[in-house]
């Protein structure tokens, strides 16, 4: 039931129906998801469908890409000297959600670190809105593509230039904005672990 950006071979309502159908047939059904199923993973929607059908379910939490990808890039989302709060924001909203991306971004602007999931195609708009709500164009920003994987790519810059620098980045990617991005240069352990310096 894998999905790619703008390409969902099996619509969500059909996925929900399949979960119910197989569970009612007495099968043990596992819906495996990357990251955490309740962080923009539609796990809540699927669990609600099962609950409405009167079927038991269990949720096994995972590590969200909102935290894992920055960590693999050497970017802690919090740091005692730089960031005591962080917000995770979707890079695009579902139709009929009741709030557009602009409102969500503006509400999140008070957090020290902002992490956007599913936002690569809206990066320019995200940056514009962050600057419009008072974030400095010099604020550090990063885009981590394919985080935690051997082909991980980390692009850093500032709000003023991250759109240009990350122009070739493809999803899946996580966008991180905040002073903690500046720690990437010192804490970027993953690439070093893949290609250690000869002794």
DSSP 151-163: T-EEEEEETTTHH
pTM more than 0.85:
yes
Total residues found in the chain within this entry: 199
Pick from 115, 107, 37: nearest CA to 77: 115
Where are the domains positioned within the chain?
12-52, 65-189
Of the pLDDT bands very low, low, confident and very high (cuts 50, 70, 90), residue 192 is confident
Domain 65-189 = CATH 3.40.640.10: no
Cα–Cα distances (Å) from 192 to 33, 90, 147, 175, 197, in that order, read: 28, 30, 15, 21, 7
State mean pLDDT over 140-168: 96
Tokens of 176: 């991180």
Pick from 47, 60, 41, 38: nearest CA to 19: 47
Which pLDDT value is given to residue 198? 53
- Enclosing H/E stretch for 13: helix 12-24
Which pLDDT value is given to residue 103? 78
Q: Percentage of the chain surpassing pLDDT 70?
A: 88
Whole-number average pLDDT of the chain: 90
Q: What's the pLDDT tens digit per position in 91-149?
A: 876 554 455 667 778 888 899 999 999 999 999 999 999 999 999 999 999 999 999 99
- CB 174 within 8 Å of CB 91: no
């Amino acid at each position: 039931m894998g999905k790619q950006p703008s390409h969902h071979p099996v619509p969500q309502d059909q996925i929900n129906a399949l979960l119910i159908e197989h569970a009612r047939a007495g099968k043990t059904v596992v819906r495996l998801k990357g990251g955490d199923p309740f962080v923009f993973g539609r796990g809540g929607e699927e669990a609600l469908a099962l609950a409405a059908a009167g079927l038991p379910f269990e949720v096994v939490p995972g590590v969200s890409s909102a935290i894992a990808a920055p960590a693999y890039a050497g970017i802690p989302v919090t740091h005692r000297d730089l960031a005591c709060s962080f917000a995770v924001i979707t890079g695009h909203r579902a139709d009929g959600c009741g709030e557009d991306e602009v409102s969500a971004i503006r509400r999140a602007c008070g957090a020290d670190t902002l992490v956007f999931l599913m936002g690569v195609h809206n990066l320019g708009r995200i940056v514009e809105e962050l600057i419009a709500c008072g974030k400095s164009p010099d604020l550090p920003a990063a885009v981590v593509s394919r985080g935690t994987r051997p082909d991980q790519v980390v692009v850093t810059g500032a709000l003023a230039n991250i759109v240009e620098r990350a122009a070739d980045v493809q999803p899946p990617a996580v966008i991180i904005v905040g002073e903690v991005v500046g720690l990437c240069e010192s804490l970027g352990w993953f690439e070093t672990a893949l290609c250690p310096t000869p002794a």
